[in-house]
Amino acid sequence: MNFPFKRGSEDGMLLVEVLLDSLTKMSVLLDTGASFSTFDSTELLMAGYDLSKPIGFADVETAIGMLQVEVFELHEFTAFGITKKNYRIQVYDFLAHGLLSEHQGILGLDFFEGTKFCIDTVRNQISIEPLPV
Amino acid sequence: MEEMKAAYPGEWVLIGDPVYDEDDLNVVSGILLDHSRDKRELAYRWRGNLTGYKTYTLKYVREDRPVRQYSRFIPLLTRRTRIL
């Protein structure tokens, strides 16, 4: 299956629309260099998640040092026609850390585990297919 | 959507039942529910109150000035080193 993405007007980032719990649509960056998906905590707050109850924490190595993020489990998450239940994500308070971005998170490589995918930067589309286990 | 962009530059707009273009990438219309420069304020105001809509989305209305934020953003999320 082929799915289109759009490019950020200034920097060429790959932006895709994803769906959280069949209700919340978000624009996120597609970043295969990120090991795990990470979303803005405000999005989870709005979707009704209790931010005081993460299932865990994780340290993340960044270019500016180590950061601690919270880990949550989403009830349902959909991107590129693939729906995952109990999908674990990292959550970070973008606003509190001065990240005033218009996108609401990063879709990391973990989402693509068990799939074969190809990013076409000419047609601006990604083809993705699940692989048999 | 163009009216929202004109009316609320530099703000977040909360859109109920957004309608997307055929590529499912850009909102072309929807119900304007609220707007604010403070995204978190919208979240506190509306959390749990959006079940009457099939979907909703928060969109930032860009002002007409160049922004390059990826270099600040990407370092966040490269490698998880330890699960606590």
What per-residue confidence (pLDDT) applies to B64?
Answer: 66
Contact A127, A118 (CB under 8 A): yes
Distance from CA of A132 to the nearest CA of B (A): 27
Distance separating alpha carbons of residues A9 and A22, to the nearest angstrom: 28
Strand order in the sheet with A2-4: A2-4, A125-130, A115-120
The 3-state DSSP class for residue B11 equals: coil
pTM, two decimals, is 0.84
What per-residue confidence (pLDDT) applies to B72?
Answer: 46
Distance separating alpha carbons of residues B24 and B28, to the nearest angstrom: 10
Question: Which residues of B fall within a CB distance of 8 Å from A102?
Answer: 59-60, 62
Distance from CA of A97 to the nearest CA of B (A): 10
Question: Which residues of B fall within a CB distance of 8 Å from A108?
Answer: 77
Contact A29, A103 (CB under 8 A): yes
Is the confidence at residue B67, as pLDDT, over 80? no
Q: What is the pLDDT of residues B20-46, one digit of tens each?
A: 998 888 899 999 999 999 999 999 999
Is the confidence at residue A10, as pLDDT, over 70? no
What residues contact residue B19 under an 8 Å CB cut-off, 6+ apart? B27, B28, B29, B30
Q: Name the one residue in this structure whose structure tokens are 């995918």.
A: A117
* B71 pLDDT tier (thresholds 50, 70, 90): very low
Q: What is the pLDDT of residues A19-71, one digit of tens each?
A: 999 999 999 999 988 889 999 999 999 999 999 999 999 998 876 678 889 99
DSSP strands (E only) in chain A = 2-4, 6-7, 14-20, 24-30, 38-40, 56-62, 65-79, 82-92, 105-107, 115-120, 125-130
What per-residue confidence (pLDDT) applies to B4?
Answer: 84
Q: When comparing pLDDT for A73 and B66, which is higher?
A: A73
Distance separating alpha carbons of residues B71 and B15, to the nearest angstrom: 29
User: Residue A15 to residues A31, A110, B40: CA-CA distances in angstroms?
Assistant: 9, 17, 22
Q: What is the pLDDT of residues A60-118, one digit of tens each?
A: 887 667 888 999 999 999 999 999 999 999 998 877 766 667 788 999 999 999 999 99
The answer to whether the Cβ–Cβ distance between B56 and A24 falls below 8 Å is yes
